[in-house]
Amino acid sequence: MNETNLSLSTSQKLQPFLLLSKSVKGVANAKLIMDALNAPNVYVFTELYQSPNVVEASTLPEVAPYYSLLELFMYGTFKDYQENMSQLPALNDTQIKKLKHLSIATLSETSQTLSYDLLQSYLNIATVRELEDLIIEAFYQGIFTGKLDQRQRQLQVMYSMGRDLRPQQLEETMKALGAWSVSTSRLLGSMDAKIASLQETVQLNDQARDEYYNQIELLRNEIRANTNLKKMDMTLDESKKKGYNVDYNSPDYNNERVKKR
């Protein structure tokens, strides 16, 4: 499943919870959040997080920890959960697995090669078998793709789904895109200048080639003229030897002489 299809799938899976959020009030939002976190194939939660009734209920002491948990599933990792476990609701096995999958996706943003040692420590997984089962399940769900290198004890991530963007991440992304746009414009300008220079060089080379061929043709014509003149002189000499009269004023003879001069 590619990123576009995965995004559409998780957005569709979230729709029932968004519809419920329009009618659910008060502390009932805590259960709504937990149900969304428990739902299969739901990996982005910004729309639910920004839902008016959920935002309003987040100020209630009974709902606030669940709202914080929802935010952690949007941006955080399993390690963040462990560090703040005392202030957050308990997770069931499905939710823990989902958060670990999202954590691997986050780790792959900074490095495509993740060692087993790093993953086991970061995700609090005791055995390699348990880690590989977790990764293989994520492969099937399309959260990320890659390959397991059991000899090198590492995961090579080829592609990973995008998670919810933090507010500051959007600004950072826009700045990065702006810098990329400027850099690309400069590169294109440099390429255009090089192309123009090459075209000018080609044009000059074409002119030089034409001049070269013209000179060759002139040389060939001169050689032909000299050759014809020599032939005519030889013919005259032969005629003299045989006693023939030669007309030195003939047009052909004089023309060849003029050409030679």
Please give the angle made by the CA atoms of 170, 176 and 181, to the nearest 5 degrees.
125
Instruction: Give yes or no for residue 231 having a pLDDT over 50.
Output: yes
pTM for this predicted structure: 0.64
Tell me, what's the pLDDT at 251?
54
Tell me, what's the pLDDT at 254?
53
| Out of 4-18, 103-117, 174-188, least confident range | 4-18
- Beta carbons of 105 and 163 less than 8 angstroms apart: yes
Tell me, what's the pLDDT at 120?
95
Cβ neighbours, 10 Å, residue 30: 23
DSSP 181-233: HHHHHHHHHHHHHHHHHHHHHHHHHHHHHHHHHHHHHHHHHHHHHHHHHHHHH
74: closest CA among 53, 109, 95, 49?
Answer: 49
* Tens-digit pLDDT profile for residues 164-182: 877 766 676 677 788 788 8
- Cα–Cα distance for residue pair 238/232, rounded to 1 Å: 10
Cβ neighbours, 10 Å, residue 55: 13
